[in-house]
Chain A
Amino acid sequence: MTQPLLELKDVSVSFDGFYALTDLSLTLNKGELKSIIGPNGAGKTTFLDVITGKVRPTKGTVTFKGHSLVGLSEQRISREGIGRKFQTPRVFENLTVQRNLELSASPHKSAFNLLVDRLPVSAKDEVQRLMNYVGLSPFATTKAGSLSHGQKQWLAIAMLVAQSPEVLLLDEPVAGLTDEETVRTAELIKSLAGDHTVVVIEHDMEFIRDLKAPVTVLHQGQLLTEGPLEKVKQDPRVIEVYLGQADSD
């Protein structure tokens, strides 16, 4: 059996005694596309925080390609090839769209390289391609701060792709997008899977169905169940904690 790309074992995270994650174990294989759902406060974002080094697990291990990520700085983990899009799109508001992307696309990330290197043509082309794909080309020289919420969302996703990580962790990528944009984002994500390993956190069920990926359900910091969406939806525990709520309103 091959070793999983990313593995969490018995991870717990406690914030002053409140457990945001409890004994969570989860594996991610290379090229896999996985979606994660769960009610508000289930610990989905915290799960990403643990992987990306924002939060240190109180207990348990996180291993990537066989070595531990616990205690590494955010930038180290990012350079290992794990990239993340935040729940609220975080972009650099005072940089233009193009410069946001060019910064993310920088192949070498040291201060020295950013001072003396020119951005390689291949990276420049990639930036153009991404701007076209997400429809932000007309806004190339607009400051990111004046984009609409949906545009920021797309810019944030494009920045993540420009960074070309091996693993993409997407926290609510379609929140605030129109239906049409949501469909397009699903396409983008599906096209990335295979070459990349992708984790998508979402509340939007249509979108999750669109992705046709196995679903993991988190609840109160614990893994409730895993499986294809259709099967998960039948699970009475899931209906009780999550879908039941959602369907009733």
Chain B
Amino acid sequence: MKIFRRLLPWILLAIALFILPAILSDFRLNLFGRYFSLAITALAIDLIWGYTGLLSLGQGIFFALGGYGVAMYLTLNTESGAGGNGIPKFFENYGVDQLPFFWQPFWSPAFTLIALWLIPAIVAGLVGYLIFRNRIKGVYFSIITQAALMVFFHFFNGQQKLINGTNGLKTSTTELFGQLVGSSDMQLWMYRLTVLLLPVAFLICRYFTTRRFGDALIAIRDDEQRLRFGGFNPVPFKTLVFIVAGALCGVSGALYTVQSGIVSPQFMSISFSIEMVIWVAVGGRGTLVGPIIGAILVNYLRSLVSEALPEFWLFVQGALFIFVVVLMPDGIYGWFTGGGLRQLLAAFGMAPKSRTYPQLDEEVAALNDLS
């Protein structure tokens, strides 16, 4: 059993890398690639919300920044997409004949690879530091992050001359290494990249949540003021973790963009950022594994429901959220690890009933140890 648990991550990785591509159609595989990239965002939200208690409703900002970063690179570096003056065609529609200055560095692949996580990280650092320094907490934090999201949304939405406004940037028709990004070969590579980066994101989050740093995060969630009286300044902890989450969302957004084929201000819609939180709540916050499950499951369900009954998805999502919050406060994963399955089986007489006071037994055992 123990060996199985140790091997499980490798088994899952092998399935994702070799089996899924073999059995799924290109279309389905691409969808799974998107779910996996969204799972990275779920991990980021778990880090800040699940562990640290910071309910951010503005992660879409960082997600979109990563997406725009990669899309700008691809748009610039696609010869066939260029208009008469050598800059992306859409600029012609607005009579722009000079590339805006902030596009310039995105000619460089190296810059782009760094920018797609560093720019979100910097924005997160600035926003986070200002909020945390001023001891803004709880609901106020959530409201401010949502307000920031709206500011970014409206900015990107309104700036046709800078980033094509509401239309966003299409990546599926761009080229990379001489190949169409939307081609199935390219998409397979993007899928593989995502499958490899998801565990990396997981390990990063695990690095920050194990050790005493992670304990301090939980302490911040439990009783931030008490932590101050212990000599700790919570501000750097919160800022750092918000930066890490921002960077992860950036990577997630970039991976999602190249697989969905477009980045647009819709990535910064209020509802999308709330959905991100729902994935984490459904999967189980504060567990790292849970949010991955949540993101994949909810988005898979979404695809299924949307294909069959498009107008029903929002109801299903709402119902799912309420169901989980009411009946599984620790999410699906928390419910499993907390013995939920056993209880369910027991209710149907298929497993022995669990002891009512497991804790009491522990204490008795502890006392016996003492004497």
Contact = CB atoms under 8 A, between A and B. Distances in A.
Given A92-B219, A138-B367, A146-B359, A111 B226 contact: no
B215 interface: yes
A208 B49 CA distance: 44
B217 to A, nearest CB: 10
A78 B229 contact: yes
Interface in A135-162: 138-139, 142, 146, 159
Interface string B213-244: 10110110111011111111100110010000
Contacts of A91: 226
A106 interface: yes
Contacts of B3: none
A52 interface: yes
A139 B362 CA distance: 9
B229 A92 contact: no
A163 B213 CA distance: 17
Given A73-B233, A111-B236, A138-B369, A102 B212 contact: yes
Interface stretch (A63-71, A79-87, A213-221): A79-87
Contact of B228 (A74, A106, A114, A146): A74
A92 B226 contact: yes
A163 B231 contact: yes
B218 A73 contact: no
A75 B216 contact: no
A197 to B, nearest CB: 17
B308 interface: no
Interface string A116-148: 010100000000000000000011001000100
A19 B227 CA distance: 28
Nearest to A108: B231
Interface residues of A, number: 35
A91 B223 CA distance: 8
Given A94-B218, A95-B222, A103-B215, A75 B366 contact: no
Contacts of A83: 229-230
Contact of A75 (B213, B233, B240): B233
B211 interface: yes
A104 interface: yes
B208 interface: yes
Contacts of B236: 110-112
Nearest to B359: A146
Contacts of A104: 230
A100 B91 CA distance: 58
Nearest to A106: B212
Given A111-B213, A114-B211, A114-B216, A103 B230 contact: yes
Contacts of A187: none
Nearest to B216: A114
Interface of chain B: mostly helix, strand, loop or mixed:
helix
B370 interface: yes
Contacts of B370: 138
Contacts of B231: 75, 78-79, 109, 163
B222 A92 contact: yes
A90 interface: yes
A1 interface: no
A111 B237 contact: yes
A111 B230 contact: no
A159 B232 CA distance: 14
A90 B232 contact: no
B240 A111 contact: yes
Contacts of A93: 222-223
Contacts of B212: 99, 102-103, 106, 114, 117, 119
B326 to A, nearest CB: 21
Nearest to B226: A90
B366 A163 contact: no
Interface string B312-338: 000000000000000000000000000
B281 to A, nearest CB: 17
Interface string A45-75: 0000000101000000000000000000111
Contacts of A92: 215, 218-219, 222-223, 226-227
6 contacts: A54-B225, A75-B229, A94-B221, A103-B216, A103-B219, A114-B216
The 9 A-B pairs with the shortest beta carbon distances in the complex, nearest first, are A138-B366, A78-B231, A74-B228, A111-B236, A114-B213, A115-B213, A114-B212, A92-B219, A90-B226
Given A78-B229, A142-B362, 5 more contacts: A74-B228, A84-B229, A106-B212, A109-B232, A114-B212
